[in-house]
Structure 1
């Protein structure tokens, strides 16, 4: 009886946004609430980042401490950085807290962003979005780890190749900015094969077309590695370029499997080049004179239409 008296719930907010029944004001209210929840997630992540700023700073400082002569043998402590202003240390801690807060609060603000745009996507598009997002995070983490290794190996070469030598002290804010920029560049670079896969799964390019670009892609990988890596030597640049090239060929292999699953390349004109004429059969028939058309009888004039009766003598169905 209680189940019978319970009122039936209407469609959810996701269903109303998906079928287009939500008004513009409701969409704006939904965006406002989701931005508020995302800001709360970022605030919570910022608090956690402020607590973890010291361990993260020690981790980012390790490449500098691994340089020859930077560890004091008596105290076993790393050499200090240079501070140019009294507030640089506190500002650096805030910057690290913000970076950590973005990473820690990513599940919250990414979910709010996804919940706002997901109703406008089809079901298969949402399924592929889940797959690509689950692949993007490990790829970015792998790029960040490789950037840390490259900085650790290339920092000594940079200082030793300069005029100041390894005994020079570094300014702390510029050093941390250098390391975080390297991590960001390498992480974004590792997302490039995922972008190629997105183009293939969307039907923009085929796997055969992707593989035909291998010379250009390998050149772009080495050019990007030469610009992104701080080490002018061959170690960092070659490591990053070979890793990106390997990820590109793995993406081409996955794209071939996707094309085989969808049956691409078996179309009627798949084997023809873009500038090749299609094989049309020559079945032209000669144009002959048509049959003679007989003369049509003239149409008689219509009979005159009677004038309407006055309004007083006409009645409708009701009267």
Structure 2
């Protein structure tokens, strides 16, 4: 008489469901699998966005080159010139990937937070979802701010040309400058949000963030000066102002979270001490 094995899940060919800690903690191997999964999904979103970038390539090229091709100066010629056979294809790929990053921002930002959230407690996960909703418009707002700054930067740099000279720019050089400028502004806008998320994970304290305020202000001032190189104080203020406000809000949220965490730890310690002093109450 044959015996059927019912206790061992391997005999049925079914995989045992993945068990997670109630607070979302996972072993290192699970974290690595989760990271690989999130990276693949983020890359897939960027690739799909890049397809849209290829479709809209001509329109995007015209918009981004308008500050150069539309520069009005009777004594100076400005143009973008391809100097190799394969350069148009290389440029199309680079611009399409950049567009893919921008379009898929909700996708890869969600993957970042989805990877962070399993390490958070249930109450903190609600805050993380709110931060995700804030990160997307902040990143896109940074891209828009860079687009507004771009013509000013181009105009300033062109005014440094000696009289009688021309600007014949290689497209790879120009679009490297443009893409770096746009991504720098977009990432700078979401760094405060990521900072709060890292604080919730317990990797950095609000006090530590507060102690670095001088360096943060210096970096913001430097970035604003580079983005508004004409020396226009009003433009620098409009660039630096939102960044300063965002970092200030991030510092306040980190300090409040540290205080809440310390109070929760103190209550837990008091409960443990009461349990040790009088174990019969449980």
State TM-score, norm by structure 1. Answer: 0.59
Structure ID, larger Rg: 1
| Residue 16 in structure 1 maps to residue 14 in structure 2 | no
Residues 97 and 249 of structure 1, relative CA distance in 2, 3 Å threshold: same
Is the counterpart of residue 175 in structure 1 residue 171 in structure 2? no
CA distance in 2, matches of 1:155, 1:223: 18
Give the direction of change, closer, same or farther, for the CA distance of 1:128–1:189 in structure 2 (3 Å limit).
Answer: same
Structure number with greater CO (CA < 8 Å, separation at least 6) is 2
Gaps of 5+ in 2: 1-13, 267-282
Matched with 2:206 is 205
Compute the displacement of 1:58 (Å): 1.8
Cα separation, partners in 2 of 1:186 and 1:39, compared to 1, 3 Å = closer
How far the C-alpha of 1:233 sits from its partner, in A, is: 2.5
Change (3 A) 1:91 1:197: same
Could you give the per-residue CA deviations for residues 61-101 of structure 1, whole angstroms, max 9, x where no partner exists?
A: 2222342149xxxxxxx975111112111211111111222
Determine the C-alpha separation between the residues in 2 that align with 1:122 and 1:263: 11
Secondary structure of the residue aligned to 1:169 is: strand
Alpha-carbon distance in structure 2 between the residues aligned to 1:165 and 1:30: 59
Deviation at 1:158, TM superposition (A): 0.8
Aligned match of 2:217: 218
TM-score by length of 2: 0.65
Contact 1:199 1:205 survives alignment (8 Å)? no
Deviation at 1:175, TM superposition (A): 1.1
CA change 1:184–1:110 in 2 (3 A) is: closer
Number of corresponding residues: 245
Give, in whole Å, the separation in 1 of the partners of 2:35 and 2:261. Answer: 40
In the TM superposition, residue 32 of structure 1 has moved relative to its aligned partner by 6.7
Contact 1:206 1:259 in 2 (8 A): no
CA deviation vs aligned residue, 1:181-225 (integer Å, no higher than 9, x gap):
111112222234335544665582259x83x76555433321333
Structure 1 gap segments, 5+ residues each: 1-9, 71-77, 269-319
d(CA) in 1 for partners of 2:251, 2:184? 23
Aligned to 2:231: 233
In 2, the alpha carbon distance for the partners of 1:168 and 1:245 equals 36
Matched residue, 1:188: 187
Q: What is the CA deviation profile of residues 260-312 of structure 1, one whole-angstrom value per residue up to 9, with x for unaligned ones? A: 994989xx9xxxxxxxxxxxxxxxxxxxxxxxxxxxxxxxxxxxxxxxxxxxx
Alpha-carbon spacing, 1:239–1:112, altered in 2? closer, same or farther (3 Å): closer
- Alpha-carbon distance in structure 2 between the residues aligned to 1:261 and 1:23: 28
1:229-272 deviation per Cα after TM superposition (whole angstroms, max 9, x unaligned): 3725245544433332233344455567x46994989xx9xxxx
CA RMSD of aligned residues (A): 4.4
* Contact in 2 for aligned 1:46/1:100 (Cα 8 Å): yes
Q: Distance in 1 between matches of 2:39 and 2:244?
A: 38
Matches of 1:23 and 1:156, distance apart in 2: 54
Counterparts of residues 95-174 of structure 1 (less than 5 Å)? 95-108=94-107, 118-163=117-162, 167-174=166-173
Deviation at 1:59, TM superposition (A): 1.9
Query: How far apart are the structure 2 equivalents of 1:204 and 1:24?
Result: 23
Name the CA distance, whole Å, in 1 between partners of 2:72 and 2:153.
13
CA apart distance, 1:109: 5.0
Structure-to-structure mapping, 1:24-63, within 5 angstroms: 39-63=43-67
Structure with the larger helix share: 2
Gap change, CA 1:149 and 1:42, over 3 Å in 2: closer
